[in-house]
């Protein structure tokens, strides 16, 4: 995995000079170059309140449409994606990923409690955006936010899948359950995406939580309204998560 600094004088995203929305204050955008992975697949690290996240997202085949991820100035609104989640920051840029692009399952791995907390944060973003969250068993503890749905067991067939666009969150799966989970995104036209949490082999779409690696200070790209917070749990000033 190549996490070395990007080469000098790279092409910077055109929206680096985007004007803030009314009511937002633009700070000096000392963002530096855009992190690698703009056109192809993404295999990188970002900082978050949980520490360092290792993010892996495949690229889009030629002619396959828009990329499944985007780097944006922190004060910008969420990008136009079906199931956008904000994962963290790198070099002053916020990383967004469209979960609806997941080819089979989206895995969140790492120490058990840290992985569950990060997966819950992703589910909260999905719910805040107006989509459904279904949780299998006690993955997130006995209490769930209003509007979330709990099921005792993982679905066994297409007719048993939740309605609506959203995520289906489960602890690690195996055997026939895992085989079916890998088909759900395709069966539903990517309206429903399984998030599998805990000890498992990394899928093609994955986040690995490394709480032992502390979040590092990140240059400020832009400033959102005072008191606001982003979906990844980071402060609105775009600084240290």
> For residue 69, which of 216, 241, 195, 206 has the smallest C-alpha distance?
206
pLDDT score, position 233? 54
Note whether residue 178 is domain-resident.
yes
Q: Are strands 166-171 and 132-136 parallel, antiparallel or unpaired?
A: parallel
**Distance of alpha carbon 205 from alpha carbon 18, whole angstroms:** 30
Query: Does residue 34 share a domain with residue 53?
Result: yes
The per-residue pLDDT string of the chain (241 residues; one tens digit each, 9 = 90 and over) reads 444 444 433 333 433 333 334 333 334 345 566 665 555 688 899 998 888 999 999 877 545 667 889 999 888 888 999 999 999 999 889 999 999 999 999 999 999 999 999 999 999 999 999 999 999 999 999 999 999 999 999 999 999 999 999 999 999 999 999 999 999 999 999 999 999 998 656 578 999 999 876 655 444 333 333 333 445 555 443 333 3
In a domain, residue 179? The reply is: yes
Residue 94 domain boundaries: 17-101
pLDDT confidence of residue 203: 75
Q: Give the other-Cβ count within 10 Å of 60's Cβ.
A: 16
* Domain C-terminal end among 68, 101, 134: 101
Q: Are residues 37 and 59 in the same domain?
A: yes
CA 2, 5, 6, 7 torsion-angle sign = negative
Number of domains making up the chain: 2
């Amino acid at each position: 995995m190549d996490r070395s600094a990007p080469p000098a004088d790279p092409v910077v995203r055109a929206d680096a000079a985007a004007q803030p929305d009314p009511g937002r204050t633009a700070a000096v955008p000392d963002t530096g170059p855009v992190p690698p992975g703009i056109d192809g697949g993404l295999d990188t690290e970002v900082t978050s309140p949980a520490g360092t996240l290792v993010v892996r997202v495949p690229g889009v085949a030629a002619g396959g449409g828009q990329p499944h991820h985007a780097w944006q100035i922190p004060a910008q609104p969420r990008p136009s994606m079906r199931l956008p989640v904000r994962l963290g920051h790198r070099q002053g840029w916020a990383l967004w990923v469209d979960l609806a692009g997941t080819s089979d399952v989206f895995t969140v791995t790492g120490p058990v409690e840290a992985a569950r907390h990060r997966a819950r944060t992703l589910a909260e973003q999905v719910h805040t955006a107006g989509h459904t969250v279904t949780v299998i068993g006690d993955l997130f503890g006995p209490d769930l936010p209003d509007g979330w749905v709990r099921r005792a067991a993982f679905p066994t067939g297409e007719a048993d899948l939740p309605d609506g666009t959203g995520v289906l969150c489960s602890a690690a799966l195996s055997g026939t359950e895992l085989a079916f989970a890998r088909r759900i995104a395709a069966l539903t036209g990517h309206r429903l995406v399984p998030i599998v949490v805990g000890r498992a082999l990394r899928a093609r779409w994955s986040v690995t939580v490394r709480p032992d690696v502390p979040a590092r200070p990140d240059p400020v790209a832009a400033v959102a309204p005072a008191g606001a917070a982003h979906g990844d749990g980071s402060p609105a000033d775009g600084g240290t998560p």
